[in-house]
Each structure stands twice: as C-alpha cells, then as structure tokens.
Chain A
C-alpha cells in the first residue's frame, strides 16, 4: 500500500515536530547555493562563485500553491532543485514535514522522495523514449518498492485516467504522444506515490497556448481532488497568477517580494515587480499606448559579482544612496505582504 492518500486518519510519525506550526509543510530559512568557479590548469583554485541562491526564507502551508517567479538567472530553478534535494545547499535549512532534509545523505533521503516529487519543464526530454508509458508511470512503484493493492498495472491505468489519458495507452511509447499528452504522462508519474509536495518547474512553458490551458486546469483539478501542495516555478507571471495562492518574486538569488496573489498583482510594492508586471503585453489592443510601461534598461547583472546592498539598484529608477550601501530586509509591510525595498510603491 502506498502512503495513505487521506489525511487525518493516519497521523505522521512525528506529531511533535509538526505541532509547532499548524499545517506548515515546508520551511526554508537562509537557504543559499553557491556554485564555485574554478580557474587554472595545474593549480586549480576557486576564482569565485555564482551566487545562484543567496538567503531565501519562506514557508509553504499544506494544500497551498506557492509561485516562484523571476527572469532567467534569478535562481528559481536552483531553488526548486534544492527543495527536492537534487542539489546540496551551501547554507541554510530546509525542513520538510518535520524532517530537516538540508544535508540528508542520499540513502536517508530516499524514503522521503516519495513525498517530494517534481514536474519537469520539457516533456520531450523528461520521458525515456525506450520505455512504455506503463513502465514510465510505474517506475516510482518499482524504485520505492511499493506494491499497490490492486497491482502496478491497474494503479498506472488509474493514474492515466486521473490525468485525462486513455488507460488503454499503457503499452505505447512517448513518441506516440503530443507535447501536452507527454506532460500529462509526466504528471501521472509524479502523482504515482501520492506525494505531499510537488515542485513544478515551468510545467507549461513548452506547450502550445490551447494545451497550456488544459494543463493549468488539470493541475488545479488535481490539487482540489488530492489536496496537493505545489511549489510552482515559472517565468510567466500570468501562469502564476492563475495557479498560485502566494507568489514570491525573485531577483538575482533573493526574494524581493512575497505576498498573496491578490496583493501582489493588485498592489505590487517592489519596483522590480511593478516593472515586471508592466512588461507583460496587454491582451487588449484597445489599451495599447494608454498603459504606462516602465522600461527597465540593461540586463540582469551577473550573479558572480552581484551589486552590493540592494541588488536591483543598478536598474531601479527610485534608487537613492541608501540602496547602494544598505541591503533592505524582506520586511512585512502589511500582514502577509513582505517586501525588500527602501522605497516601496503603492504605500
């Protein structure tokens, strides 16, 4: 039998660890990941480090969706890989469901892997082309040595049905499916062991517009049906707008704003969030030219040598002297709305 899908009937092993914060599934404090850069041919030495993730604090409540948004190079994917422990954190702490998993060795991590699963971006490279759909979706059972009551085949067929695929397609190969269907196969595999937390890294960005909507709806339905908790990583602000309850905006390895979806999209406070939102093309040709768009100049600075203090000050139109000298803390300005800025907007 897999981990029981119904909550409440069986209480997890460490009720004491959970008791502190009701319903918090994941807590991250001061999370850092530096990738060293080595130089030299004979005498290898560390010449610096890519500060991909530099001090993240957030928590995820049972049943909610946290969106991580940002441009390429902001560290959102690294964060996802740290949460699933595909990468070893440089510093900080990750507590999942009462367990400190920050530096857990692979062997100890393995039993926990059934509770933390990942949906990948590219449905073409994340499925083994030589395996049948049955083998792909059934792999988690095999790897975790779980014997479902009604047999692996029946369980896989149920999963295929759950994600909207024909269970008869059990013996087909990935190449026989379209991009959207492949993404559904990947999602079925993710759900096999009924994980508590799903980290979805750009789950729809490789799909066509009409298929994106199908997959977004599927993710929402599955959450309602199975009570899933998502960490959704996306560069597309409108995808996050549709799925996430709370949104964290990242810039150069740091969270600059963390708020509920309504707060963040209704009244963004960090200048970067304001610029990001104003950059999204409007879907109404009538409003063209009437909207004020904030043009950010230049590119994101290199994470090897990030700007001191506030990392956004090089591109910020509100930057003052203090932004170059003192790093703004991620402060809670109104309940549930945290911003790291000396001169927040919409106040």
Chain B
C-alpha cells in the first residue's frame, strides 16, 4: 500500500518537475534499487523471477551480481534498463537512478536514459550486433539518437571509441560488418557502443562468458580501465566467481530470485556467512587448488522459479537446514546485518554461522586437502 502511494508520488514529481522532490528518502547514490520485484504470470503459475531485491551503487564503484541460471540476475538488470516494458512482467518496487525513479516513469522517459545515462553490454556479441549494418553505423546510430550531431561528427566519435577499446586500424575497421570481427573484437565493439554516450551506469551481463581466457583478461582490464577513466558505476553480472573477485567492490549473491548475501568483496570472499555462498566457493574450480583435493559440490539442482521451495529457497540443498528445527522450511529468512554493511539472509544464528565458517568451511577451502585425502585414502 504504502509503496504504491510512494510510487505515485514519485511518478507525479517526475512528470511535473525536472528535479523531483520526493517524499521517500532521497537516494544519495547513483543507483538505488529498493525491494524490486519482477513477476511473470504464466499458464503454469506466477514466476517470481526477482522477489524483493535491494541494493545501491555509487559512482566509480563496481557491483558484482553472482548467481546460477534462474537466480534472477539478468532479469534484475533488464528491469533497471526498463527492458521489461511491453512484456507481461509485473514490476513493483523502486529503481532510483541519479534522483529519478524508473519503475513508475513513462517508458519514453526511460528510453531517453537508456543508452545515454545507462548502457548495457550483452553476453553474446554476435547475436546482439545487427548482421546487416556495419559496426560503425550501429555505434553512430546509438550516438546520434541521444546527441544532436552530424553524421561526420558521430563517425569521428565512433572511430575514436573503437580506437579507445583497442580495435586496430579503427578508421578502416569502422566500416566492417560484425562477421568480419573476431569474438573479442565484437565484444570490444559492443563496449564501444555502450560507452558512446559516456553512461554513468554500465551494466555488463556475462560480458566474457563467450570468450577465451586471454581475451577475457583483455576485456576485464578494459572495463576497469574505462571505469577509472570515466568514473562510471559498473554492474557485472556473472556466474564466475573469479570474474567477480577480480573486478567487484561489492558483491550481491542471488538465489531463487532473492538476495542471500550482500557485502563488500572482502566480506563475501573472506568471511562469507551464507551456506549457499560457501557452496559456491566449495564448488569453484580453482587453479590454486591441488588436484588431489575433492570439490565440495552443492547437492541437488537450482530450483524452478514456478515452484520455489517454501521458507528459505535454499533449504532443500542446504546441509545446515536441520540445525534450525524446521524454521528454514516454513519461514522466509530476512536479510540481516552480520557485520556493518554485510547482509545475510539465513536462519542460522550468527555465532553458529561464524563457527561453521571458521571450523569447517574455511579449512576445506584453504588447501588443507591433505586432511581429507588422508580420510579417503584407506
């Protein structure tokens, strides 16, 4: 109820006043997402793809959103960009971008911001570039939609951008078609297009999943260099914890459409508090682990969003669910602070989680594989 009212107020303020004064607390970060819900009604039932996600992001910071397929990480990013418009999605909550609320805003208004103030790098550069238009034309189009400049000026800008993202002979390659580019170059072209209007918010959805490791390293370096240069805020969406560890300042771990853990990269990697995060770290194939060490996978499979398990969505796969005497199966855990700025949604008492992390999980990750090996040897 209260939210609906606030939305209305925000929307009205937006429509009337270029610098809206709103009655819900004004956001101080660049991006502030509050209790975002994206639900899709389907014949099989309501799919709660995103169910109550909140986070904020300041300029110059990088947020990593981690999760498996179906955790709602891509749907979240599409909602921020307003790309669910015209679908059956039911979106509630608030998305504040630099003082403007986007969920209740007019789609035309959001379109002005999209590609201009916020931009996205998609996962698969081959299917996100149009095969019939030259790479240069696609960048020029994106630039001219938001800026009143001549074709020549836009073209010069496109060449400059391609050069900036490391395309060799940018002045001639600008007229090439996407199929004439290699996978890494296409992703660079996508980045050039996303950067064409100096966005303040850059969302990269699995930007390197389709690429080889050496190219991945080039692209990740490029994204962090450009961020340092333009001071934009970046959201990196990925299933690869390595990419997050490399780039992110803050990390949001999603499971079944909900946030299960949210904190700084140091919090989440050095003292994770949620059993799902432990599971992800234990499953992670790492170069610095001895071959003899066995991985500790999470049992079972990620849930279907039509039929999300009751209570804590992770409880059927959680090895510690029984420690709560059934609370995990009945009650949805709330996100609570485990430490300042480190939020965790788990029913386990904090002291118990600390004990499990230091006594059981951490040693198994730190390469005391000998202990386990010795156990398995006879």
Contacts and interface: CB of A to CB of B under 8 A. Distances in A.
Q: Do A and B come from one complex?
A: yes
Interface of A: 71-72, 178-181, 208-214, 216-217, 220, 235-239, 241-244, 261-262, 265, 275-286, 288, 293, 295-299
A277 B294 CA distance: 21
Contacts of A178: 301-302
Nearest to B221: A295
Contact of A288 (B245, B270, B287, B296): B245
Contact of B212 (A235, A243, A244): A235
A71 B245 CA distance: 22
A283 B295 CA distance: 15
Given A181-B301, A285-B266, A288-B245, A212 B283 contact: yes
A210 B283 contact: yes
Contacts of B301: 178, 180-181, 211
A214 B294 CA distance: 10
B174 interface: no
16 contacts: A178-B302, A179-B69, A208-B68, A208-B302, A209-B241, A211-B301, A217-B297, A238-B285, A262-B291, A275-B214, A276-B214, A279-B214, A280-B213, A283-B242, A285-B265, A293-B221
Given A213-B297, A217-B297, A235-B212, A295 B68 contact: no
A71 B214 contact: yes
Nearest to B208: A281
Interface residues of B, number: 48
A293 B217 CA distance: 9
Contacts of A278: 217
Given A208-B302, A213-B282, A283 B212 contact: no
Nearest to A180: B301
Contacts of A282: 242, 245-246, 288
Contact of B213 (A208, A217, A220, A235): A235
A280 B68 contact: no
Q: Which 5 A-B pairs have the closest CB atoms?
A: A281-B242, A213-B283, A213-B297, A279-B217, A238-B285
B346 interface: no
A235 B210 CA distance: 11
A265 B285 CA distance: 14
Contacts of B168: 298
Contacts of B126: none
B188 to A, nearest CB: 11
A212 B287 CA distance: 15
Nearest to B248: A285
A242 B285 contact: yes
B40 interface: no
B246 A217 contact: no
B284 A209 contact: yes
Interface stretch (B14-22, B134-142, B178-186, B194-202): B178-186
A238 B221 CA distance: 20
Q: Quick one: which of B221, B239, B291, B298 has the most chain A CB within 10 A?
A: B291
Interface string B233-275: 0000001111101101000000000000000011001100000
B360 to A, nearest CB: 17
Nearest to B185: A299
Nearest to B210: A72
B279 interface: yes
Contacts of A216: 285, 295
A92 to B, nearest CB: 26
B74 interface: no
Contacts of A238: 285-287
B289 to A, nearest CB: 7
B341 to A, nearest CB: 15
B329 interface: no
Contacts of A71: 212-215
A165 B220 CA distance: 39
Contacts of A284: 245, 269
Contact of A295 (B218, B291, B296): B218
A211 B217 contact: no
A241 B293 CA distance: 11
Contacts of B92: none
B118 interface: no
Given A72-B212, A208-B239, A295-B217, A281 B285 contact: no
Given A220-B294, A282-B245, A285-B265, 13 more contacts: A210-B297, A213-B295, A214-B298, A217-B295, A242-B285, A242-B295, A279-B216, A280-B213, A281-B243, A281-B245, A285-B248, A288-B245, A299-B184
B280 interface: yes
Contact of B269 (A211, A262, A276, A283): A283
Given A72-B183, A299-B184, A242 B291 contact: yes
A286 B270 contact: yes
Nearest to A69: B213
Nearest to A241: B287
Contact of A209 (B182, B214, B246, B280): B280
Contacts of A217: 294-295, 297
Interface string B9-35: 000000000000000000000000000
Contacts of B288: 282-283
A241 B298 CA distance: 20
Among A210, A244, A299, which residue has the most Cβ atoms of chain B within 10 A? A210
Nearest to A302: B182
B191 to A, nearest CB: 16
Nearest to B266: A285
A178 B286 CA distance: 25
A320 to B, nearest CB: 22
Contacts of B182: 299
Contact of A212 (B265, B270, B285): B285
Contact of A285 (B217, B269, B279, B282): B269
Given A265-B287, A283-B245, A210 B279 contact: yes
A279 B212 CA distance: 10
A225 to B, nearest CB: 13
A243 B292 CA distance: 9
B280 A281 contact: no
A293 B221 CA distance: 10
Contacts of B216: 279, 281
A296 B242 contact: no
Nearest to A210: B298
Contact of A283 (B185, B241, B299): B241
